[in-house]
Amino acid sequence: MSVESLARGHRRIGTVREIAERWGLSARLSRAAKFDPAFREMLDCAVVISRRARTLAGAAYTAERRIVLNAALLEQGCEKDRDATFIHECAHVLADLAHNRSCRHGARWREMMRLLGEVPNVRHRIPYLSREAHAKIIWRCAGCERAYHYVRRPRRKIVDCYCADCGPKHGRLREETPE
Same domain, 106 and 140: no
- What confidence score (pLDDT) does residue 9 get? 82
How do beta strands 137-141 and 173-176 pair? antiparallel
Tell me, what's the pLDDT at 5?
57
The reported pLDDT for the residue numbered 3 is: 42
Statement to judge: residues 114 and 144 lie in one domain? no
Within this chain, do residues 107 and 139 fall inside the same structural domain, yes or no? no
Asked whether the beta carbons of 17 and 41 are under 8 A apart, the reply is no
Q: Which residues of the chain have pLDDT under 50?
A: 1-4
End-to-end CA separation in angstroms for the chain: 41
> What is the pTM assigned to this prediction?
0.88
Does residue 157 share a domain with residue 84?
Answer: no
Q: What is the pLDDT of residue 158?
A: 96
Same domain membership, residue 162 and residue 140: yes
Domain count, the chain: 2
Strands 46-50 and 10-15, bridge-based pairing = antiparallel
Range of the domain at 156: 135-176
Which residue type is seen at 130? S
Q: Do 70 and 144 fall into the same domain?
A: no
Tell me, yes or no, whether 50 and 99 share the same domain.
yes
pLDDT of 149: 96
